[in-house]
Structure formats: C-alpha cells, structure tokens
Chains A and B, each alone.
Chain A
Amino acid sequence: SQQGEEDPQALSIQEGENATMNCSYKTSINNLQWYRQNSGRGLVHLILIRSNEREKHSGRLRVTLDTSKKSSSLLITASRAADTASYFCATDADDYKLSFGAGTTVTVRA
C-alpha cells in the first residue's frame, strides 16, 4: 500500500527561488527519505531523516520531519535549472520496505 503522498503534484519556479514540497504519511515510521529522479533516469537518494530527528540539512537541501503531524517537507534553496526533476519521499514503516509516493515534479525556469 502507498504510504507517502507528496504535495503539490507539480511546481514551477524561477531560477534562484526556493522550492518547497511536502510529504504526508499514514503510519508510524522509522525513517523518511527523499529521492530525486531526472527524466528518464533512476532515482537518486538525497537525504534520510530518522523518526527522532526534526531537521536535517545537506547542501541546499533542508528536510523537516513532524511525526505528530505525520509529515515532512523538502526545501531546495536558490534553485537551479539542474534541480528540474521529480522528487519522491519514501517511508520505512517497520515493514521491511520503503514505500514511495507519486512524487512532486519541479520545473525550474531560467
């Protein structure tokens, strides 16, 4: 069953702006991960945040996790054309697998 759901489905921003996308999930989790998928390519791991963490940074990426609301957000700061991709959250709900949502498609306009 699908666990994470991303919002919005699609996002279009100007280069240099920040992009924020959200992920909501249904059950308790051990960790939550974000992945990027460029068109026609495989998914690439971006960041993992554990259930006892609230915020994590990696370069221009900032991820927050609110377990009380069962939600996470991914912020990409100072976006670039190369950030154009689909972004997926994946949750580990203690069932030995990662469950993905359908992703947020981000378009960065030059």
Chain B
Amino acid sequence: DTAVSQTPKYLVTQMGNDKSIKCEQNLGHDTMYWYKQDSKKFLKIMFSYNNKELIINETVPNRFSPKSPDKAHLNLHINSLELGDSAVYFCASSQVQTGELFFGEGSRLTVL
C-alpha cells in the first residue's frame, strides 16, 4: 500500500526532449508538492498544489509545468530538457501545508 507513488523511477533522455513524471497519493491529503534534489542533496521546493489549486510556484523555468487533475494526482511535465535538469524529483503530500510531508521514492532524471 504505497502512500505516495511516482513513476517512472528512472528517466534517461537526450537534451531537447520532453518528459513527464506522474505522482499519486492515496492518503487523502489536500496538498501535494514537487521538490528537486540536486547532486549535493540540496532539496528545493518547486511547486505546491492545494486541492488542485497552485499555491507555490518557486522560481522555476516555465519549461516545467505541473498539472493536478484531482487532489490525489500531481504530474510534472518538462519541455526542452537541459543538462542542468538532471536531478532527482520528489513528489510529496501533506494534510496541511507545512505539516508532516510524505515523500515518494523519487524519479531520477538524467539528461544526456
């Protein structure tokens, strides 16, 4: 019974391609997030949705577009991939904003 699941776990792609990562949570939480973890393990928030509404949009290139079809799902689409996009992307959810976060296992994106 995975609480927060994200797919795929690994993506390897060429520069310039477009890719998507999907996330689903079965915890009944209202808030979902995308975080990016770089090679130095620094974790930075990218987006946050509450009940399908975008509430946090950090300084992220507009090549990154989140979509929340319902409050249990939050997907991330990335256009025109660049080398610097290589990272591990984590989806997370919480019942209340700034409460305990439940993380997925991460999606490791490698751009060649």
Give the number of residue pairs across the A-B interface with Cβ within 8 Å.
59
B101 vs chain A, min Cβ distance (A): 6
- B12 interface contact, C-beta 8 A: no
Whether B105 and A97, one on each chain, are in contact in the complex, defined by CB atoms closer than 8 angstroms, is no
| Dominant secondary structure of chain A at its interface with chain B | strand
Bound complex: CA A2 to CA B40 (Å): 13
Size category of the binding interface on chain A: 20 to 34
| Residues 89-110 of A at the B interface (beta carbon under 8 Å) | 90, 92, 96-103, 105
Count chain B residues whose beta carbon lies closer than 8 angstroms to a beta carbon of A: 23
Residues of B that sit less than 8 Å from A by CB: 4, 35, 40-45, 48, 55-56, 90, 92, 97-106
Residues of A that sit less than 8 Å from B by CB: 2, 30-31, 33, 35, 37, 40-45, 48, 86, 88, 90, 92, 96-103, 105
